[in-house]
Amino acid sequence: MSQDLLQTGTNELEIIIFTVGKETFAMNVMKVREIIQPIPVTSVPNSHPHVEGLIRLRDEVLSLVDLYKVLGELRAEEATEDKFIVGELNRMKVAFRVEKVSNIHRISWSDIEKPTDLSQGLEGLVTGVVKVDDKL
C-alpha cells in the first residue's frame, strides 16, 4: 500500500486490484472503506438475485453483493481467499464478495480509457479500462 497520500493536483488516483473468477477488476481506493475476511451472511427472501444477503459489521447492517453472480462467474469450490470489499458508493455503504484482493496501484486519470464495444454486456459495471502490469 502507498505510504504517502496523493498530492492534490497530480491528476493521479489509486486503484485496488481484485479478481472474480478468471477476471481482474479495480476500484478507486477512495471508494473503499475496508477489506475484511468473510463473516456470516443472513439471506434475505425476495432480494435481488445478485444480493447474497446482509452482514453486520460493527453494528451496521450492509447488503452483500456477490460479484460472482453479477459477472456470471463460477466460484471455485475451494474458494478460500474470498474477501469482502466494503465500499461507499453514492453515500451508501455496501459490501462486495470478491475472490482475491491483490494490491494497490497508482495511476494517472489519463491512463483510463473508455470501454470499447468489445466490453458489451458489462454496461454500467465498467467505467474504464486501464493497463496495469501488462493486464487490462
What is the reported pTM?
A: 0.78
Band (pLDDT 50/70/90 cuts) for residue 9 is: low
Closest CA to 69 of 91, 42, 47: 47
Q: Determine the average pLDDT of the residues in 110-125.
A: 62
Band (pLDDT 50/70/90 cuts) for residue 52 is: very high
Q: What is the reported pLDDT for 3?
A: 41
Per-residue DSSP letters for 12-40? EEEEEEEEETTEEEEEEGGGEEEEE----
Residue 5 lies in a domain: no
**Where does 13-121 have alpha helices with state H?**
67-71
In the predicted structure, residue 114 carries a pLDDT above the cut 60: yes
- Whether 56 and 87 have beta carbons less than 8 Å apart is answered as no
Domain hosting residue 72, numbered range: 12-130
Number of domains in the chain: 1
Residue 95 lies in a domain: yes
Residue 2 lies in a domain: no
Nearby residues of 74 by Cβ (< 8 Å), 6 or more positions away? 21, 68
**What CATH number did the domain enclosing 64 receive?**
2.40.50.180
List the beta bridge partners of residue 114: none
Residue 84 lies in a domain: yes
Residue 36 lies in a domain: yes
**More confident site: 102 or 61:** 61
Q: Determine the average pLDDT of the residues in 70-84.
A: 78
Highest mean pLDDT among 63-72, 77-86, 110-119: 63-72
Q: What is the reported pLDDT for 4?
A: 45
Q: What is the reported pLDDT for 64?
A: 96
